[in-house]
Each structure stands twice: as structure tokens, then as C-alpha cells.
Structure 1
Amino acid sequence: MSHDLRPLAIAIMGPTASGKTAFALDVAERFGGEIVSVDSALVYRGLDIGAAKPTVDEQARVPHHLLDVRDPWQTCSAAEFALDARRALDDIVSRGRLPVLAGGTGLYFQALLEGLAAMPAADAALRADLAAEARARGWPALHADLARVDPVAAARIHATDPQRIQRALEVYRLTGKPISTWQQEARGTRLPFRVLKLVLAPADRAVLHERIAHRFDLMLEQGFLEELHRLRRLPDMQAVASPLDLPAVRAVGYRQAWEYLDGQGTEADFRERAIAATRQLAKRQLTWLRGELDARWFDPATDRARLEQALALFLPTS
């Protein structure tokens, strides 16, 4: 009888504010693991309070990977993330440790676990042209252009997501083939690991909404706006012509805070818009997670016994 000799990894997935960080820390500490962050905001230096980055104390408890690997004026594509994460996984396993993947960025999980289609590389000149078009016409107009040539991609990409609109139009203009077609074609190499996918999600959506609001208020008390003031003062950030187009600034909460510091609305308005945006993010995350048919779902408040059973069945006993 053949045995599956692939190394093991645990993926702790879920919407924002569902308790992934605490559970990942607990699992990593108990089973000799190291945490690989799968979060498109936590890759950026300086996005700490507003992105709920693990604290210094939490990072001291368990080694963390893929935190603070880009400056906030840079980008980190899903393909770049997957390459860095695979290196981290190989390193963790080589030392006899258990990789614990934790986060809520679906595209990053997809790139790491399943691979991505071999699409054309970025074209700097074309990207500059698209950015100029956006400044002249607005990103919603470019989203409308995308809807005409690739309605499938346009349905998935929000009209206020310039990075993904730009990439989709770039691929179409370079190849004449919609990015959705590229994505449906053969993907890259799947991750050669056995992965237990655990989704943490409160069964009652109202509980998640309450957690989101409470956590955001705590962020404000901890100095979220002061953190953003520091980011805005960085010379490299001030040199960016359109900072609201940066992936780091588009992170949920940061865009709304940036606009508030630019003079848009009151602090109360900012708080409500940021919480609403976070709820919308959670909704998108849950929609993506429902497509992960091999994932197991748990309510972190009531399903601890089932979670422990899933871990015990997956991990070898010593």
C-alpha cells in the first residue's frame, strides 16, 4: 500500500476579525510550528495597527514569515508572494517544523496552493499608459472598458480596485486574450504538501460584525491614525503621485483613514466608512471561502472540540 510522503501544513483561513491570529499562534506553539502569513496587507512595513499585524510579543512566541517584506510604496503580486512563501515553507520543513499558513487573502492562498496561470509579465510602459488614462478618465471608466472586453473578470473585480483593473486590461492589451481565459487555463505547479484547510467563521454574521467594530475601535485607541500620519510623512510616500492607488493604502481601513486625513468627512464618518468597508471585505472573503470545497468550517466560539479532533486526525502522533 502506498503512503503519502508529502510534508504536512495547516491552513487557517477565514474572514477578517474571526480569530485566525490567536488560533494560529496556539496551534504553532503546541505542534512545533512556524506561521506563514497569507495576508496582502501584512507584507507591508509600517502597516501594523490598522492591519492587525501580530505584535512584537506574538512574533517572539512563534517565528513568523512573510511579514514586512515590502515597503508601503511597493507592490507584492500574488506570484511574488507565492514564490517567497514556498521558499519559507521549504525552509520550515527542512528544520523539522510544521508550517501554519494563516490569513484571509484568497488570491494569495490560490497562488500558493494551486499555482497561477503563466500570464505575461508586467509591461512598465503599458502600465504607465493605463495609469495616465485612469488619471484622465477615472478607474470606474477603465472598469467599464474591462467589462466590455472581459465581463467575467469585471464581475469579480470591484470598480475601485485599480491594481486588478490595471492588470486585467494590461493582459488583454498585451495578448488580445481576456485575463479570465488565462486564469481558466492550466495553472502552475500545485504546492507539494498535504494541507489541512480550517476555516474559522462565526455562524452568526452579527457576531462577526460586532467583532469587526470592536477591533476597529481598539485600533483607533492604539493609535491607528498616528500610524498613518507617520506613513504619510515618509519621503518615498510623499513622492508617489497617486498614493491612493498603492496596494498598501488600499488596504481596508487605510484608504478611509487616508481620505479622512486629506479632509474628507468627520472622524465619525471615517469610522463608519472603515467599518462598513471591513464588513464588505469579510463578505468577499466568505464568498471565496465557500468555493474551497476541501476546507472544513468551524465557529471559533463553539467548535473548539471539533477543531481539536480535526488536528488530531491530521497530525501524526509521536
Structure 2
Amino acid sequence: MKIYKKNLCKSFLIFLLGPTASGKSTLAMELRKYLPVELISVDSALIYRHMNIGTAKPNKLQLIQHPHRLINIKDPSQYYSVSEFRYDVLREINDILKLGKIPLLVGGTMFYYHILLNGISQLPKSNLELKKKILRENNYNHNYSLHKYLSKIDIISSKNIHPNDVQRLLRALEVCLITGKKFSQLKKNILFRLPYKTIQFVRVLKKKKLYHNIENRLGNMLDQGFEMEVMGLFNRGDLNIHLPSIRCIGYRHMWFYLSGLISYGDMIKQIIVSTKQLVKKQITWLKTWNNIYLLKDTKMELIIEKILNVIYKEDIMYG
């Protein structure tokens, strides 16, 4: 197989999208053998330190051999806004381009890709104290209280944000309270569209295979000590179920189990159900995506060959 290490135009980006458990990370690391790429994680869970097993984060050896930018940049106690992601990812992209390499963005947080491609509204900076106040004053004891609060002041935003999406609900409420305007109105003023050419690949697996991978992966996580990992977070004393980090799939369910609210068996069932629901949501997002190349092959060699051929056909090559 031809290795395109030279004669590449460096002013473009590669996106590698796909649903959870589709093998994106493995493929991205393998591509480094054939292309002068540097990896950037596009995953809202991999940003957190001390959350390795349950997020299916590449292991220490893999990260040494294949460094990923925007992994392990936040403590689980911290918030991370979409605007922060955009700022960070553009900084990393520029740095990689200056090195004469190609940024390869890989991950499953579709909303992050969406704001890169389509722009982001100019909104006020995040205010952590205000977010804490919103949670405190609304007696946030279940998933729907924030959603109900938002529906009273911005019904359009409440219809567009899932009741379980605590981070986005908090951001919408925060913006409404800071500006005195509706979040849905401010989001119409789109700025900052991505200024680079992008070649987008989507890893595709049959749903049956994805679900099989999800169940196998959870079994492996439990064998690797996922319960002990969450117990370490649980016992810290400064974390709670309302934080975006602990709301991540798997972590919130294990948290409920450690709190005595659900049984071990129910915890496992709920993780599988929630992960499958995430996959359905990711696939729905991808059905609306434009200008993508589908990677349906099962053999790694064939997938990589298609990627390299696409890059060549996109006329990225010189000469």
C-alpha cells in the first residue's frame, strides 16, 4: 500500500466521525503509518483526567505512541463549554499546520464537529458561579427540573435540548440570565465558520455489529476495573451527579449503583441501553451530514486504501 508521507498539501483537515464502538480511534492511530497526521480528540468525555476505562480512552502506551491532543485537559470537577472547545481545537489545528502536518480530528461528539463546520454564535463567556447558583436555586433533584425552568424563559431552546443534557441546559440558562435575551435568538447570529478545507470520513458498521461491540466493550471495562475507577471519583468528596463529567454514560449509572439507588444488574442494563440510545442519536446526526465518505469495509487495509485514494482524488496531492 502506498504511503503518502510527502508531497501533500498541508492546508486541509481530516475528520474521522462515526458512532460509539465503531473503531474510530484504532483506525486513526493506524493511519499515522501512512499519512503525516497529528491526532486531535473530538470527544466530550475524553477531556477528563482520571476517567480512562469508562470512556474507552486509548491506554497509556497508545497515547505515548500516538499522542492525542485535547485528551486529559480537564479535571472531572471542571466544566468545558463548546466555545472553549472551539478555541482549543483551532489552536491545536494551527499548531499542527505550522509543523507541516495534517490535523486528523477523531471522535464521536457530533455537536463539536457541527459547530466547527457551521460556525458558533457569539455568546458570553461561561460563568461557573452562575451555573452553581442555577443548580442550587432550582433544587436540581432530577433530570427534568432544569428543562422545565428553561421552558419557562425560552421554550424554543427547551424543545431543542434533551432533558438529560445537563451541560447544554445549563449553558442556555446561563446565557439567558447573563444577557436578558433568549438563547434561541442569540444562536441565530452565527460567526466563525471553519476556514479550512475538510475531508470527512464516517466509519460505518451495521447496527447489530455496533450493539455487539457495545456489550463486549462494557464487559471488558468491568474486567479492567471500571467500578474501582468510579469509586475513586465517588470517594473524592468534591464531585456530584450534576457535573457533566459524572453525567457521562457509564459514570452516572455506576454512580447510582455506588449510591445504592440501583442494583448491579440494573446498572449494566442501563449502561447498555443508554449507549445504544447514543448510537441512534449519532447515526441520526450523520444522516444529515453533507460531503462525507463512508467507510463500510471490515478489513483495515481496505479502509485505509479507500481513505488514501479519496485524498488523492480530492486533488490534495501536488504533481
TM-score scaled by length of structure 2: 0.88
2:54 is aligned with 1:42: no
Tell me the secondary structure at the aligned position of residue 53 of structure 1.
coil
What is the CA distance between 1:186 and its match in structure 2? 2.2
Does the C-alpha gap of structure 1 residues 300 and 222 become closer, same or farther in structure 2, counting only changes over 3 Å? farther
Residue 105 of structure 2 is matched in structure 1 by 101
> What CA distance in whole angstroms lies between the structure 1 residues aligned with 2:10 and 2:99?
15
> What CA distance in whole angstroms lies between the structure 2 residues aligned with 1:111 and 1:64?
20
What is the CA distance between 1:38 and its match in structure 2? 0.4
Residue 209 of structure 1 is matched in structure 2 by 211
Gap regions ≥5 residues in structure 1: none
Residue 267 of structure 2 is matched in structure 1 by 270
More helix by share: 1
What is the CA distance between 1:136 and its match in structure 2? 5.7
What is the CA distance between 1:148 and its match in structure 2? 4.1
2:309 is aligned with 1:309: yes
2:61 is aligned with 1:57: yes
> What CA distance in whole angstroms lies between the structure 2 residues aligned with 1:191 and 1:178?
25
What is the CA distance between 1:59 and its match in structure 2? 1.6
State the aligned residue count.
Answer: 307
Task: Please show how residues 40-189 of structure 1 align to structure 2 within 5 Å.
Answer: 40-124=44-128, 126-135=130-139, 138-187=142-191, 189=192
Tell me the secondary structure at the aligned position of residue 31 of structure 1.
coil
Would you say the 8 A contact 2:77–2:238 is kept in 1? no
Gap regions ≥5 residues in structure 2: 1-8
Does the C-alpha gap of structure 1 residues 308 and 166 become closer, same or farther in structure 2, counting only changes over 3 Å? same
1:60-101 per-residue CA deviation (whole Å, 9 max, x = no partner) reads 222221110001111111111111111111111111111110
Residue 239 of structure 1 is matched in structure 2 by 238
Residue 196 of structure 1 is matched in structure 2 by 199
Tell me the secondary structure at the aligned position of residue 215 of structure 2.
helix
What is the CA distance between 1:57 and its match in structure 2? 2.0
Does the C-alpha gap of structure 1 residues 213 and 156 become closer, same or farther in structure 2, counting only changes over 3 Å? farther
Residue 290 of structure 1 is matched in structure 2 by 287
RMSD between aligned residues: 2.2
1:266-306 per-residue CA deviation (whole Å, 9 max, x = no partner) reads 22111110011111111111222222212222325277354
Equivalent pairs: percent with the same residue? 33
Of residues 110-119 and 39-48 in structure 1, the stretch that sits farther from structure 2 once superposed is: 110-119
Would you say the 8 A contact 2:40–2:103 is kept in 1? yes
Tell me the secondary structure at the aligned position of residue 34 of structure 1.
strand
